[in-house]
Amino acid sequence: MSDYNFAYLDEQTKRMIRRAILKGLAIPGYQVPFASREMPMPYGWGTGGVQVSAAVMTPDDRFKVIDQGADDTTNAVSIRSFFERTAGVATTTKTSEASVIQTRHRIPEEPLREGQILVYQVPIPEPLRFLEPRESETRKMHSLEEYGLMHVKLYEDISRHGHIATSYDYPVKVEGRYVMDPSPIPKFDNPKLGDMAAIQLFGAGREQRIYALPPYTQVVSLDFEDHPFEASKPDHPCALCGAENSYLDEVITDDAGGRMFVCSDTDFCEARQAAGHTGTMNGKDAA
């Protein structure tokens, strides 16, 4: 016996995780406890996402991993090669070709379609955690729908900064019921959570929680009447592909204050460049 079981986890574990996923899908936004396993990577590197991916993956799937939107960063490369070795599934970097996409901190720019599954890596699934440290109390607040405290956080933001300064991990309300932590995606991505055609699954390995959004779920970002939610991004076009409406990373280019803004979604940016779009700092033009 030298082979791994398909997709690393044993079948009983996958069964347990699938039950948690189904329960999560049946109650959108509700955190389902599950018996998270030790994975061959440290907590915080996506152990929850990897377990969820392993449980939903079939041999016919095509797998994509992004980390902050990029396909070529350490976390993405190592998780992709992990599943290449243990599941032998095909992998891709193209959003449209993938059937299962594991993501850390971004939603792909390209709209997802029915049949795709988006798996989020979640560090802290409890949106009320830093306001109310007692788990027994936060569970009670969820079950009784007592969410006034969530607005206290936003109130504190406005009183300190003059506007809602929370720019990632922005709390949302699902189907008018559960307040949910969308994982640390930028709030620019929040509007994409709602009404999405793909299935969205959230796995928190250390905290042992799974939650889910079935396709076409209503998701509303919390706000105040006089300080409405705003999906913000840097006010620049992408320096490589010229996109005006994608989320951008700021990249320091020298020690003299030089900087550029580029799409954080590398697949989206490369596809646009291949289609002939170009930005102000694209080397091909400057040369």
Partner 1 sequence: MTPLLSVQGVTKFYGHHIGCKNVGFDLYPGEVMGIVGESGSGKSTLLNCMAGHLTPDAGAVVFNTRSDGPRDTVTMSEPERRMLSRTDWAFVHQHARDGLRMGVSAGGNVGERLMAVGDRHYGDIRGKAADWLGRVEIDAGRIDDRPTTFSGGMQQRLQIARNLVTGPRLVFMDEPTGGLDVSVQARLLDLLRGLVRDMGLSAIIVTHDLAVVRLLADRLMVMKDGHVVEAGLTDQVLDDPQHAYSQLLVSSVLQV
156 binds partner 1 (CB under 8 A): yes
* Residue list 112-131, contact with partner 1 (CB under 8 A): 131
| Selected binder of partner 1 within 27, 41, 77, 149 (CB under 8 A) | 149
The three-state secondary structure class of 250 is strand
Out of 24, 29, 69, 203, the active site residue is 29
Pairs from 255-263 (Cβ < 8 Å, separation ≥ 24): 261/234, 261/236, 261/237, 262/238, 263/69, 263/109, 263/238
Question: Which residues is 120 bridged to in the sheet?
Answer: 103, 202
Of the pair 144, 286, the CB lying nearest partner 1 is at 144
Q: Which amino acid is at 269?
A: C
Distance CA 191, CA 203 (A): 20
Of the pair 35, 152, the CB lying nearest partner 1 is at 152
Of the pair 152, 197, the CB lying nearest partner 1 is at 152
Query: Measuring CA to CA, which residue among 198, 197, 200 is closest to residue 172?
Result: 200
Residue 269 vs residues 203, 222, 253: alpha-carbon distances, Å = 27, 30, 18
148 binds partner 1 (CB under 8 A): yes
In the annotation, is 48 catalytic?
Answer: no
171-210: string of b/e by CB count within 10 Å (b at 16+)? bbbbbeebbbbbbbbbbbbbbbbbebebbbbbbbbebbbb
Tokens representing 254 are 């020298």
176 binds partner 1 (CB under 8 A): no
Which among 21-29, 30-38, 143-151, 235-243 is the span making contact with partner 1, rule CB under 8 A? Answer: 143-151
Handedness of CA 145, 213, 50, 67 (dihedral sign): negative
Of the pair 30, 268, the CB lying nearest partner 1 is at 30
In the annotation, is 241 catalytic?
Answer: yes
| Selected binder of partner 1 within 44, 81, 155, 253 (CB under 8 A) | 155
Site string for partner 1, 207-226 (x = CB under 8 A): -----------------xxx
DSSP result, 187-204 = GGGHHHHTT-SSEEEEEE
Of the pair 18, 177, the CB lying nearest partner 1 is at 177
| Selected binder of partner 1 within 22, 26, 35, 152 (CB under 8 A) | 152
85 binds partner 1 (CB under 8 A): no
List interacting residues with partner 1 (CB under 8 A). Answer: 131, 144, 146, 148-149, 151-152, 155-156, 158-160, 224-227
The catalytic residues are 29, 238, 241, 263, 269
